[in-house]
Amino acid sequence: MNGKPWKTSEIRFLLSNRDILTAREIADKLKRTKSAVLKKTTKLRKEGFILPRSTVYEKPKSKIPSKSKFLIIIKNKSVSTIASELSVSESTVLRWMHFYEIKISGDLNRWTHEEDRYLTENFGLATLDEIGDALERSKAAVSRRASLLRKSGKNLPKKSLRPQKFKGKRPSKAELESLLENFSSYQISKKIGTSDSNVRYWIKSYELEIPEKKSKQAI
């Protein structure tokens, strides 16, 4: 017994949502069993369709709320705020919105001019986590916004500041500029207790120029 035949619209829905919704959510949406969805996925993959090898899993604590309750929760709130209140990731919130066919309004995810200005001024000088904490947004959201601003013409570094993994304190722009007058980046790294690449990254992030080669002081 082959069970209920799959309609073209159902297969299209499965292909479009396999990496967004869980197998259980797809099954509920199509009024089929989870087992039927998994079997169909395997069959489609063998037929040459590109489908993710792993499904989307949900932890018990992130059980999807009812649509009526979810609509109340998300009203006039950003995705990051919703995720924080429900103790789930932003991707989970977006997945639930997709499942309930709720369109993301501009107010939910819209960045303000003040946020864009803060991001532009601090990207490269602070880590993604630090910027995210200041703006109450996720690290992923900050990274995506930086990429979008860069594509729109904003002059942003290609990489954000990496979390510091050294014991020495990062010098201010004025302190680093003063050190560069007498020491090479390598010598500065030894004085501070970090790597030469870190010092060069600071020079770039502060938009400083390395002075022409001249005799440097001994460390």
The reply to whether the predicted model has a pTM over 0.85 is no
Residue 125 has a pLDDT of 72
Greatest Cα pair distance, the chain, in angstroms, is 86
Which has the higher per-residue pLDDT, 4 or 54?
Answer: 4
Q: What's the pLDDT score for residue 146? A: 87
pLDDT, average across residues 90-118: 74
Q: Using the 8-state DSSP alphabet, how is residue 110 labeled? A: P
Most trustworthy range by pLDDT among 9-13, 18-22, 79-83, 86-90: 9-13
User: What DSSP state is assigned to residue 123?
Assistant: B
Please give the pLDDT value at position 143.
85
Q: Could you report the per-residue pLDDT of 153-170, keeping only the tens digit for each?
A: 888 877 776 665 544 577
136: how many CB neighbours lie within 10 A of its CB?
Answer: 12
Residue with tokens 């619209």: 9
Distance, CA of 192 to CA of 171 (rounded, Å): 9
| pLDDT tens figures, 25-81 | 888 889 999 889 888 888 887 887 766 555 554 443 457 788 888 888 888 777 777
List CB contacts of 133: < 8 A, sequence separation 6 or more: none
Under the banding of pLDDT at 50, 70 and 90, the label for residue 212 is low
Q: Which residues contact 128 (CB under 8 A, 6 or more apart)?
A: 139, 142, 143, 160
Q: What angle separates helix 113-122 from helix 139-151, to the nearest 10 degrees?
A: 90
- Show the DSSP H helices in the chain as ranges: 8-17, 23-30, 34-46, 67-74, 79-86, 90-99, 106-109, 113-122, 128-135, 139-151, 173-180, 185-192, 196-205
Between 135 and 1, whose confidence is greater? 135
Residue 116 pLDDT > 80, yes or no? Answer: yes
Q: Which residue has the tokens 């930086």?
A: 146
- Tens digits of per-residue pLDDT, 172-209? 888 888 888 888 888 888 777 777 777 888 888 888 88
